Amino acid sequence: MSRSETFSGGSKAFHWVAAVLVLLMLYGGFNIARETATWHFGFGLIVLVVMVFWLGWRMSKPRPALPAMPRWQEIAAKSVHHLLMLCLTLQPIFGLMMVTTSKRDPVAFGVIPLKIVQNDTINGIGNVLHGINGRLLLALVLIHIAAALYHHFVLKDNVLKRMLPFGKG
């Protein structure tokens, strides 16, 4: 596979760091407990930082062209990718809307205080948006994984290989 067909090392790094963080955050978000919340808050901050840098990276680096595929698949692929980037960026922002306006005194990693001021209205809006966006994010992640596996095992093309972290793909 030529260099123009595969993603750069930086793009792959951002993708896989975000993938691991998102899977951990989705699991933690749907199974959150008082004992694990501080880690969820902390990793949410890391997700926000990663997304800001990744979006900057994506704006400065050309993406490889999509392989030949039907137009509907191209539209679906681009739509899912754009929605994933949007939802991944918004999710920690909605989370911050909740924790910075909470009645409690939330902390990230057990040491970073997050509360700014109690505001039940902003907290409630953040709570609803974080929940809806989290479910949408889960659906998009599942679609993304299913599409990658479909391309790899059914179509047997290089869509998945060009984003794998190791090797020439």
Whole-number pLDDT of residue 4? 61
Statement: residue 1 has pLDDT above 80: no
Read off the pLDDT band of 53 (50, 70, 90). Answer: very high
Tens digit of each residue's pLDDT (9 = 90 or more) over 68-103: 899 999 999 999 999 999 999 999 999 999 999 999
Helix, strand, coil content of the chain in percent (nearest 5): 70, 0, 25
pTM over 0.85: yes
Whole-number pLDDT of residue 168? 60
Q: Name 30's bridge partners.
A: none
Mean pLDDT of 4-19: 90
Mean pLDDT of 36-47: 94
Burial pattern 101-116, b for ≥16 Cβ within 10 A else e, equals bbeeebbbeeeeebee
Exposure on the CB side of residue 104, measured as CA atoms within 13 A: 8
Q: How many CB atoms lie within 10 A of CB 155?
A: 13
Mean pLDDT of 47-62: 94
Read off the pLDDT band of 6 (50, 70, 90). Answer: confident
Sign of CA dihedral 142, 146, 152, 157: negative
Sign of CA dihedral 51, 56, 61, 62: positive
Q: How many CB atoms lie within 10 A of CB 159?
A: 20
